[in-house]
Amino acid sequence: MSSRRVVVTGLGALTPIGNTVSEFWNGLAQGVSGSAYITRFNAEKFRTRFACEVKNYDPLNYFDRKEARKMDFCTQFGMVTSAEAVQDADLDVSTLKPDRAGVIWGSGIGGLITFQEEVSNFALGDGTPRYNPFFIPKMIADITAGHISIKYGFRGPNFATVSACASATNAIIDAYTYIKLGKADLMITGGSEAAICEAGVGGFGAMKALSERNDSPETASRPFDKDRDGFVLGEGSGALILEELEHAKARGAKIYAELLGSAMSADAYHITAPHPEGVGVKQVMVSVLEDAGILREEVDYINVHGTSTPLGDISEVNAIKEVFGEHAFKLNISSTKSMTGHLLGAAGGIESIATILAINHNLVPPTINHFTDDERIDHRLNLTFNKAQEKVVRTAISNTFGFGGHNTSVVFRKYEA
């Protein structure tokens, strides 16, 4: 396994702060907030009336009307970003061995908007079952991987990962593993989510998981701030092309970074709350360093899960202190969810892209919306508050965690021949 190196050769992003990779990076670098009042539905009666929506998205800019009607936004977002990643990687799919190319895609929920619409239509009707024939294939979480493989003719490994907010990183880890094991040479991977609807906002709101800062949506996502009161729901997609190194070199591909290691763990504690001692989070970071074969002192930046919840943020930074020791005060930490909101199952896709671009640009994106220090968080940690920081980033980690106690972590490194 160790002889097969895996590199990133293409990226695609559709996010609340930019509808392409370059727009997304510019938004991160400038510290732009993607949070605003909800436009998708009338949220006047909801406890939370704002979210991080994808802006200026028109399906007809990407699909014909008939095609768009067959796909939930969740799948549309995945198709848009995978197309950008394929183009970015300069892939001529006709030259690839289709049995050696696959798709592994993550989504925590799948077609929630479709599910809500179809059930609502039935409930509000006269009891006669009039369901869209595309209801099920639009809703199921695996369908995005299927659509992508059909479009590009990839006949290799093809499935979906569902581990709540860790889903996209799980997909990336699985794609990486299949290439390392020699079962594929190239994979399209990442994740997409589209849960900004009455059911999504109402459901997360009922859990008291969402911020209720309705007077200031743009500052509502404030990881590590004393006055944080929950996460901001986001939507979108992030896609990566992972490729075996020699395969990439043979076709003259540009290489963004090397995916050096991965790890997964479980809290085995609670369906939604983090373990109070961060047992699973510590375990996953120790394991990812071991899998990557690097020392903790080699890590320059951690893109943390950092959702802006009262318990989760503290648990993660305390785990970082325990795992990294004194080096924790020398590396940069930031939560890009302060800008994008929480994309649930797609979070690991766009956050892996943010981590890779930090390596490419030697710039750490900020944790915006910091106003008041939380005395429970060690002030010696460099949480990259409010403004991006220039820094040589050679090695970086991206953490994502999910309801159910799922923990995932990946290490990216600047590519060296």
> 3-state class of 218 per DSSP?
helix
- Which of 247, 275, 342, 406 does the annotation list as catalytic? 342
* Of 165, 158, 151, nearest in space to 79 by CA: 151
How many helices (H) does the chain have, and how many strands (E)? 13, 14
How far, in Å, CA of 401 to CA of 409, rounded?
Answer: 9
* Of 58, 197, 43, 55, nearest in space to 118 by CA: 197
Computed on alpha carbons and rounded to an integer, the radius of gyration of the chain in Å comes to 20
In the residue annotation, 327 being an active-site residue is answered as no
- Which of 247, 275, 305, 406 does the annotation list as catalytic? 305
- Which of 165, 197, 247, 406 does the annotation list as catalytic? 165
How far, in Å, CA of 65 to CA of 199, rounded?
Answer: 25
- CB distance 190 to 259 below 8 Å: no
Burial degree of 122 (CB within 10 A; 0-12, 13-18, 19+): middle
How far, in Å, CA of 366 to CA of 386, rounded?
Answer: 6
Q: What token pair was written down for 61?
A: 């800019």
How far, in Å, CA of 393 to CA of 110, rounded?
Answer: 34
End-to-end CA distance of the chain: 18
DSSP letter (8 states) at residue 384:
-
How far, in Å, CA of 136 to CA of 143, rounded?
Answer: 10
In the chain, the amino acid numbered 325 is G
How far, in Å, CA of 4 to CA of 11, rounded?
Answer: 21
How far, in Å, CA of 168 to CA of 158, rounded?
Answer: 14
* Of 255, 249, 281, 246, nearest in space to 267 by CA: 281
How far, in Å, CA of 137 to CA of 118, rounded?
Answer: 12
* Residues annotated catalytic, as ranges: 165, 305, 342
